[in-house]
Amino acid sequence: MTTPPFAKILIANRGEIALRIIRSAKELGCGTVAVYSDPDRDALHVRLADEAYHLGAAAPAQSYLNADKLLAVAAQCGADAIHPGYGFFAENAAFARRVIEAGLTWIGPHPAAIDAMGDKVRSRQAMIAAGVPVVPGGTQALPDAAAARLAAQRYGLPLALKASGGGGGKGLKIARTLDEIESAFATAQREARAYFNNPVIYAERYLDNPKHVELQILADKHGTIVHVGERDCSLQRRHQKLWEEAPARISAHVRDGLRTAGITAARAIGYDSVGTIECLVADDEFFFLEMNTRIQVEHTISEEISGIDLVREQICVAAGRPLSIAQGDIVFAGHAIEVRINAEDPAHDFRPAPGTIVDYHEPGGFGVRVDSAAYPGFTITPDYDSMIAKLIVWGRERGETLQRLARALDEFRIAGVPTTLPLLRALVDFPPVIAASYGTATLEPFAAGLAAAPTNGTASSAAAVSDAGGGTGADAETLRVEVNGKLFRVRFVDLPAGLGPRGPAADGAKTAVKRGGARRSRAASGNEIRSPMHGVVVEVAVRAGDAVAEGDVVVIIEAMKMMNEIRAHKAGLVAALHAAAGDTVEAQSALLTLA
């Protein structure tokens, strides 16, 4: 048996990515160490690891982003390597250096590569020097909104104002007119400071509805760099991915150019781990966007079409081993799609929806994979991201994959919180998706069009459970009836007051309400503007006595790693403020009162 690359790996992360790393590490014979915050004490990654250590309270700064505690646990348990997963410390060069200085192995690229690609301004400069095409725009920080206005005049509108230290759509705002420049710059800078502690903003031309295509890179410490194909990640909300597929439907010209440029980019910074070159494709051109110096959420579909365990390779590369496969040995087969099932309400602008899952059933069958850490009773807290599961399907060709995805989505059952399941199921039948002609601006208008339309039982029952506090899955609004030995499921649309599928409501319990109605009225009625979610107030944009118009942003709340703009539901004067920046607010708590 091959000697394990490490004796013991500490996984400095949580959720499904921690489980993913634990599984590959165990197959390699490595011991595994989990860490957890207060709400994650019973999490699956804690149960599956060989050892587990408590970090602290739920807030990331007190747990998963507490470098001192992570290194102390590593010393206590005798780990010889740390794997950061994605998010948290995954692209933090300072933490990587601390890991190395502590005598441990950092399972990721060397810190200089993280520095080179972690700052978007510097990464653009490096790619231009390497001859890799970039999106037209600047390579210097913008000091103020006036400089952003000059950039708009130079590069044209629409203009993307982007956080230099950013990623995942955070710190990114689009100005489509010169009048929007000042507001977009201020918002982008505020998010950049809040998320990355780096207020630097730069500008580049915003491409309307391009394809977002990324190249999977795999490199070792001996100079070997290979690619593991492209992924189309264009279906996004709030500039964050919801649906990814591989291979991407792009021309042979773009594919060849992108692969060559990706290898060139990785070689230019001496890359030595898994990583992703992200590009925008418009017509028959491609432009470098950024490089993610970590394992990606969507690495799964590259694994499905190549048969390569990317996490396993990443661990072995960190131990100094050469890649187990050469470029000429990689054979791509079939088509794979990953969709992200998030605790979000697509009917309300993808509002984060923390809560407890009361019913959970994953699909199965040939070509179906689910990466998740969820289970019945699992609580999705507002302290972390909203992802519940990743559903990955593979087929011999794209049409078969879409059919398999539709079947798997129909099988997936989650109740207790609103989810993206109904939206994802609707996307399978959406003509631009069927034709693979979609771009980055396709998803949000489609979701907005569905917001007022009926949805399948998964979404409506989830909303009903959240509001009414009972029921699981489709049973919350259906009655099973057997007639002459045949089972029928009857869905109730309008029920008499006090009645549910199983008869009169017990103990005066509420009847399930229609999706969205009650929530919207509670959040926007009368003179009070209430928080639609649990979160932290990032900014109060008005003061007592200010006049506001209907639709004005009055408060910005961070919840589940997303900035949420709370807007006035009517015009009026601010009579009283009930929250301040830095406050933690509960769902339905009053933020301000209008007169």
What would the pLDDT profile of 246-277 be if each residue is shown by its tens digit?
A: 999 999 999 999 999 999 999 999 999 999 99
Judged by average pLDDT, the poorest of 18-32, 79-93, 440-454, 504-518 is 504-518
Highest mean pLDDT among 20-34, 473-487, 526-540: 20-34
Q: Report the share of the chain in percent with pLDDT over 70.
A: 88
Do 299 and 354 lie in one domain? The reply is: yes
Element (H, E) at 217: strand 211-219
Q: What is the pLDDT of residue 2?
A: 85
| 3-state SS track over 547-590 | EECCCCEEEEEEECCEEEEEECCCCEEEEEECCCCCCEECCCCE
Kindly report the number of other CB atoms within 10 A of residue 98's CB atom: 19
Q: What is the pLDDT of residue 563?
A: 76
- Under a CB-based contact definition with an 8 Å cutoff, are residues 246 and 269 in contact? no
Question: Who's near 443: CB < 8 A, 6+ residues apart?
Answer: 235, 236, 237, 242, 243, 427
Mean pLDDT of 524-538: 82
pTM for the model stands at 0.82
Name the band, by pLDDT with cuts 50, 70 and 90, for residue 492. Answer: low
CATH code at position 144 = 3.30.1490.20
Do 227 and 306 lie in one domain? The reply is: yes
Question: Who's near 240: CB < 8 A, 6+ residues apart?
Answer: 168, 169, 562
Q: Which two tokens stand for residue 433?
A: 């998706």
Kindly report the number of other CB atoms within 10 A of residue 487's CB atom: 8
**Is the torsion defined by CA of 243, 247, 251, 253 positive or negative?**
positive
CATH code at position 582 = 2.40.50.100
Mean pLDDT of 135-150: 93
Residue bearing the bigger pLDDT, 558 or 544: 544
Q: Name the residue with tokens 């005598």.
A: 103
Name the band, by pLDDT with cuts 50, 70 and 90, for residue 499. Answer: very low
DSSP 141: -
Q: What is the pLDDT of residue 591?
A: 95
Kindly report the number of other CB atoms within 10 A of residue 251's CB atom: 12
Q: How far is residue 441's CA from residue 426's CA, in Å, rounded to a whole number?
A: 17
Average pLDDT score, the chain: 88
Boundary-marking domain end, from 205, 238, 256: 205
Question: Who's near 283: CB < 8 A, 6+ residues apart?
Answer: none
Cα dist. 263→225, 268, 269, 333 in Å?
Answer: 7, 9, 10, 21
Do 335 and 223 lie in one domain? The reply is: yes
Mean pLDDT of 119-123: 86
Judged by average pLDDT, the poorest of 131-145, 307-321, 419-433 is 131-145
Residue bearing the bigger pLDDT, 393 or 131: 393
Question: 34-73, pLDDT tens digit by residue?
Answer: 999 999 999 999 999 999 999 999 989 999 999 999 999 9
| β-strands 478-483, 351-352 pairing | unpaired
What DSSP string runs through 462-501?
HHHHHHHS---GGGGSEEEEEETTEEEEEE-SS--TTEET
DSSP 396: S
Q: Name the residue with tokens 């009169």.
A: 504
Give ∠ CA 344-281-266 in degrees, rounded to 5. Answer: 95
CATH code at position 428 = 3.30.470.20
Q: What is the pLDDT of residue 106?
A: 98
Q: How far is residue 558's CA from residue 259's CA, in Å, rounded to a whole number?
A: 37
Judged by average pLDDT, the poorest of 324-328, 375-379, 511-515 is 511-515
Boundary-marking domain end, from 400, 415, 450: 450
Do 221 and 354 lie in one domain? The reply is: yes
What DSSP string runs through 39-102?
GGTT-HHHHHSSEEEEEESSSGGGTTT-HHHHHHHHHHHT-SEEE--SSTTTT-HHHHHHHHHT
Do 445 and 472 lie in one domain? The reply is: no
In a domain, 409, yes or no: yes
Q: What is the pLDDT of residue 121?
A: 87
Q: Name the residue with tokens 């008005």.
A: 542
Q: How would you label 552-588 residue by residue, b for 16+ Cβ within 10 Å and e otherwise?
A: eebbbbbbbbbbbebebbeebebeebbbeeebebebe
Query: Which residue in 313, 316, 274, 315 sits closest to 296, CA to CA?
Result: 274
Q: Name the residue with tokens 């694994």.
A: 303
**What are the phi and psi torsion angles at 531 (to 5°)?**
-75, 130
- Is the pLDDT at 366 greater than 50, yes or no? yes
Residue bearing the bigger pLDDT, 186 or 349: 186
Query: Which residue in 384, 431, 291, 373 sits closest to 17, CA to CA?
Result: 373
Q: What is the pLDDT of residue 472?
A: 35
Q: What is the pLDDT of residue 505?
A: 38
Q: How far is residue 209's CA from residue 191's CA, in Å, rounded to a whole number?
A: 23
Q: Which two tokens stand for residue 574?
A: 């601010």
Q: What is the pLDDT of residue 242?
A: 97
Name the band, by pLDDT with cuts 50, 70 and 90, for residue 197. Answer: confident
Q: What is the pLDDT of residue 361?
A: 98
Q: How far is residue 553's CA from residue 566's CA, in Å, rounded to a whole number?
A: 6
In a domain, 125, yes or no: no
- Is the pLDDT at 534 greater than 90, yes or no? no
Query: Which residue in 233, 237, 419, 260 sits closest to 337, CA to CA?
Result: 233
Do 343 and 435 lie in one domain? The reply is: yes
Cα dist. 554→80, 443, 594 in Å?
Answer: 49, 26, 11
Boundary-marking domain end, from 205, 240, 259: 205
Query: Which residue in 34, 39, 52 sits closest to 380, CA to CA?
Result: 39
- Is the pLDDT at 452 greater than 80, yes or no? no
- Is the pLDDT at 444 greater than 80, yes or no? yes
In a domain, 124, yes or no: no
Do 523 and 586 lie in one domain? The reply is: yes
* Alpha helices for 274-341 (secondary structure H): 299-306, 310-318
**Is the torsion defined by CA of 482, 484, 486, 489 positive or negative?**
negative
Do 551 and 587 lie in one domain? The reply is: yes
Mean pLDDT of 307-321: 98
Do 308 and 184 lie in one domain? The reply is: no
Domains of the chain: total: 5
- Return the SS3 of 206: coil
- Under a CB-based contact definition with an 8 Å cutoff, are residues 562 and 576 in contact? no
**Is the torsion defined by CA of 128, 84, 199, 181 positive or negative?**
positive
Q: How far is residue 88's CA from residue 76's CA, in Å, rounded to a whole number?
A: 21
Do 181 and 91 lie in one domain? The reply is: no
Do 316 and 412 lie in one domain? The reply is: yes
Q: How far is residue 125's CA from residue 280's CA, in Å, rounded to a whole number?
A: 17
Question: 205-231, pLDDT tens digit by residue?
Answer: 999 899 999 999 999 999 999 999 999
Q: What is the pLDDT of residue 488?
A: 73
Residue bearing the bigger pLDDT, 120 or 408: 408
In a domain, 410, yes or no: yes
Q: Which two tokens stand for residue 275?
A: 């990583």
**Beta strand ranges found along 269-423 (DSSP E):** 274-282, 285-292, 335-342, 344-345, 351-352, 355-356, 359-361, 368-372, 379-380, 387-395, 413-415
Judged by average pLDDT, the poorest of 66-70, 290-294, 346-350 is 346-350
**CA 220 to chain CA mean position, Å:** 27
- Under a CB-based contact definition with an 8 Å cutoff, are residues 203 and 150 in contact? no
In a domain, 72, yes or no: yes
Residue numbers of the domain that contains 258: 212-450
In a domain, 126, yes or no: no
Highest mean pLDDT among 121-125, 298-302, 507-511: 298-302
In a domain, 129, yes or no: no
Q: What is the pLDDT of residue 478?
A: 62
Mean pLDDT of 169-179: 90
Side chain identity, residue 9? I
- Is the pLDDT at 497 greater than 60, yes or no? no
Region of residue 119 (phi > 0: left; psi between -120 and 50: alpha; otherwise: beta): beta
Do 361 and 261 lie in one domain? The reply is: yes
In a domain, 218, yes or no: yes
- Is the pLDDT at 511 greater than 80, yes or no? no
- Is the pLDDT at 498 greater than 60, yes or no? no
Query: Which residue in 15, 583, 29, 13 sits closest to 319, CA to CA?
Result: 29
Element (H, E) at 450: helix 443-450
